[in-house]
Amino acid sequence: MAMMARVKSSGGSGSSVSPPVIASILLASANDKKLHELTVIATTLGLTAVAAPAWARGRSPLPEVVEDGATFVDNALKKAVSALRHARECGDAQVSVIADDSGLCVARLAGAPGVQSARYAQANGDRLSIDAANRGKLLAQLTDADLKNRRAHFECWLVLVGPLAAGPGCGQTGDGIAWRAFGGRCDGAILLEGRGEGGFGYDSLFMSDDLNKSFAEAGEADKHGVSHRGRAMVALSAYLQLKKLTATDERPLFVRPIGLLTLTEALKRTLGSELRYADQALEQALAHAPQLGSKERHAVADMHWYALRRLDHLCLAFLAIKGAVKPKEAPDPRQLDAKASGVLALLTLADLDTHGLPRDAGKKGDASALDGLAKRSPGLSGAWPATPGQCTTALRAASNAARELPELHRNAMAVGFTPAFMTALDMDLGAEHARLALDYLCQRAPLTLRANRTRISAKRLAEELLEDGIVTLPVPRVDDALWCVHSARVTQTRSFIEGRVEIQDEGSQRIALAVAARSGETVIDWCAGAGGKTLALAALMRGEGRLIALDPHPERLAECKRRCERAGVRVDARVIEKSPKPLSEFGDIADAVLVDAPCSSTGALRRNPELRWHLDGDWLNRFGEQQLQILLRASSHVKRGGRLVYATCSLLRRENEDVVSAFLATRDEFDLAVEMRIGPADGAWLATHPLPSFGPDGFFYAVLRRRPKQPSVGKDADRSRPSAAKA
């Protein structure tokens, strides 16, 4: 996949008998205006692509597609798949296709014109006359002249199909075509009349919030920088760059006996902590093995994560080695003792092939990573508590035992979660959202950074980290966020030590942005913990105003203070008691209060795979009432007209929307302004098949506004009114 090359458009004076263009990416659109925008944006982003007219020279043109889908993604997918099948019929077997669908969505019209934007007026004629008829119908339907009541947004979805879309998390058509979708949105309002001569469609009526002018008045570069199509293309470009930069050649998994011992130690420490704090256990184990090289450290970390995710299967295999009776339900890995760590480490290597990929133990002749280690270290393998053959046999017995379990337990083991969590997710989210969420949570999480904007920009930080050999890419639509392309020891860089960068998930950064903290405000971070969001709020406030960090756990708040000092942030950090009563030292003083409430953490299971084994009924139903009480308590300190932001990293409605509904039923002076799900908590986003290894954790947030105090009508005002008799 080539980058930094010019898009080949339909222009030029090439001979009609020139050979057909061979494309890696084909832009499929029958709308010349859209195609022009796509090619310009693609060129700006450095993507190599071929526009449909240029591709069709020497071939038959792309077939027309009836755009009758219910959503933008449906229509774009339909066009992209049609173009890909046609390209393959023409002999272009390796091409991938990008197609789009987009439209204008008006709030007062319940989202119309939407997918009907190009056909809104049902007019005939050329494109210019159809566009004029569509604009005329739209203006006739909007009778309120106040722009606040004419809010709208443009939405665009690009669908990529073909080889470049393949990989973990991709969607597939019935005939096996891989696809993914990438969205973009821009907000604004509908003007009373058209302005400007540029653009097309509804551009002259759309007043962009970002540009404070209509799209038709804006220059091409300005429009593309903030437009729905430009933002969708940025998201697609980021995906293609990540796919290119993370592509690796298949190499054998390199593990020496010291690596096995380190994995054993990491598992021992994890199990010894009752299957908690696995990241700390791994860090401590690696610290005791300084002789490990960087690749072997990464291999141990990957195997530790894999073992924790597969611990139910490894538990069954462990029982098989010990000759235990087959269980009648999925095993509970919390019952494993730290003494089992040696066998579990061997089983982990036996469950992987020689390249470190999951292995089918029932497939004969398929060598395992443990076989490779035993072959390289014949003198040491005799001291292992189990032989490679015993481990393979035990894994095969575990697979057979899992197939004999009741359906719920069998299905739970197939994806590596508890039956209680499977049931809860299905109940709260629905079967399809639950399925996509479970698939997403089975992938590794990215290392995401936040530039401390008070000290450095994200662009400059990326350059600074590159000097340390750390490659990053900007996260679309989150200005301070960077993805690390590969695992990296960021905490050892000068950027981290000197407070210019923090490690923080994209979703967590988006919650901080939702608080909309501004310089000079009083902001309270109610459940501050170790201070991740406190630091993000401080950066937004630029050190001006009052930032208060509260938490009932002194040790967490101490870490918050330490991090704030490193970042050069002033914060009023206070330990509070767990009580339903408002704080006596504060009244309703805050412009904004963030309540990042304690929760089941089901949205963060990629980062904490050991947590999945604690998701029983007690854990999943533990937090709702506690969350409501914390929210009620914190709300007492929001001033009139202020903002209360409730957030969790849970996927479950019982901890999210249900808590907000219960709060609003109790505190009627608050109104719900925004309610948002992020990452795997958002079923619609999951249905676009994002790249799971570079997406956010699952979060929910709601922005609640306390109504301003209404001016009271006093006695003096009553006296000033004429009485009925005098009137």
Task: Express each pLDDT in 605-650 by its tens digit.
Answer: 999 999 999 999 999 999 999 999 999 999 999 999 999 999 999 9
**How far apart (Å, rounded) are the C-alpha atoms in residues 566 and 406?**
53
Q: What is the pLDDT of residue 719?
A: 41
Q: What is the pLDDT of residue 48?
A: 81
pLDDT classification of 249: cutoffs 50, 70, 90: low
Q: Evaluate if residue 216 carries a pLDDT over 60.
A: yes
Q: What is the mean pLDDT of residues 101-108?
A: 96
- State the pTM of this model: 0.90
**How far apart (Å, rounded) are the C-alpha atoms in residues 445 and 321?**
32
pLDDT classification of 23: cutoffs 50, 70, 90: low
- CA distances, 500 to each of 195, 452, 490, 649 (Å): 44, 5, 11, 25
Q: Evaluate if residue 725 carries a pLDDT over 50.
A: no
From the list 575, 445, 573, 453, the residue with the least C-alpha distance to 512 is 453
Q: What is the pLDDT of residue 7?
A: 42
Q: Evaluate if residue 11 carries a pLDDT over 50.
A: no
Question: Considering the chain, what percentage of its residues have pLDDT values greater than 90?
Answer: 81
Choose, from 32, 92, 100, 101, the residue flagged as catalytic: 101
Classify 474 as helix, strand or coil.
Answer: strand
Q: What is the pLDDT of residue 671?
A: 98
Q: What is the mean pLDDT of residues 339-349?
A: 97
Q: What is the mean pLDDT of residues 52-68?
A: 90
- CA distances, 403 to each of 316, 396, 400 (Å): 12, 11, 5
**How far apart (Å, rounded) are the C-alpha atoms in residues 284 and 93?**
50
Q: What is the pLDDT of residue 1?
A: 36
pLDDT classification of 381: cutoffs 50, 70, 90: confident
Q: What is the mean pLDDT of residues 188-193?
A: 97
Mean per-residue pLDDT of the chain:
91
Tokens representing 403? Answer: 């197939």
Q: Evaluate if residue 38 carries a pLDDT over 70.
A: yes
Sorted by where each starts, the structural domains of the chain and their CATH numbers stand as 25-245 (3.90.950.10), 257-416 (1.10.940), 455-504 (3.30.70), 514-706 (3.40.50.150)
**How far apart (Å, rounded) are the C-alpha atoms in residues 10 and 35?**
10
Q: What is the pLDDT of residue 251?
A: 77
From the list 325, 328, 259, the residue with the least C-alpha distance to 292 is 259
Q: What is the pLDDT of residue 523?
A: 98
- CA distances, 445 to each of 310, 448, 485 (Å): 16, 9, 11
pLDDT classification of 380: cutoffs 50, 70, 90: confident
Q: What is the pLDDT of residue 724?
A: 39
Active site residue 249: no
Query: Are 8 and 80 a contacting pair, CB within 8 Å?
Result: no
Q: What is the pLDDT of residue 726?
A: 33
Q: What is the pLDDT of residue 713?
A: 57
Task: Express each pLDDT in 433-479 by its tens digit.
Answer: 999 999 999 999 999 999 999 999 999 999 999 999 999 999 999 99
Q: What is the pLDDT of residue 651?
A: 98
pLDDT classification of 487: cutoffs 50, 70, 90: confident
Q: Evaluate if residue 293 carries a pLDDT over 80.
A: yes
Between residues 55 and 304, the one the model is more confident about: 304
Query: Are 82 and 68 a contacting pair, CB within 8 Å?
Result: no
Q: What is the pLDDT of residue 353?
A: 94
Q: What is the pLDDT of residue 3?
A: 37
pLDDT classification of 327: cutoffs 50, 70, 90: confident
pLDDT classification of 21: cutoffs 50, 70, 90: low
From the list 189, 196, 164, 201, the residue with the least C-alpha distance to 179 is 164
Q: Evaluate if residue 16 carries a pLDDT over 90.
A: no
Q: Which of 17-31, 283-297, 540-554 shows the lowest mean pLDDT across its residues?
A: 17-31
Question: Considering the chain, what percentage of its residues have pLDDT values greater than 70?
Answer: 94
pLDDT classification of 721: cutoffs 50, 70, 90: very low
Q: How far is CA 108 from the centre of its chain?
A: 30
User: Where in 65-172 does DSSP place strands (E)?
Assistant: 96-106, 151-161, 171-172
Q: Evaluate if residue 424 carries a pLDDT over 70.
A: yes
Other CB atoms within a 10 A radius of the CB of residue 481 amount to 24
DSSP 8-state secondary structure symbol assigned to residue 516: T
Q: What is the mean pLDDT of residues 162-171?
A: 93
pLDDT classification of 305: cutoffs 50, 70, 90: very high
CA angle 433, 503, 304 (to 5 degrees): 65
Alpha carbon dihedral 239, 245, 250, 251, in 10-degree steps, equals -140
Q: Which of 343-352, 550-559, 574-583 shows the lowest mean pLDDT across its residues?
A: 574-583
Q: What is the pLDDT of residue 714?
A: 56
Q: Evaluate if residue 4 carries a pLDDT over 70.
A: no
**How far apart (Å, rounded) are the C-alpha atoms in residues 451 and 453?**
6
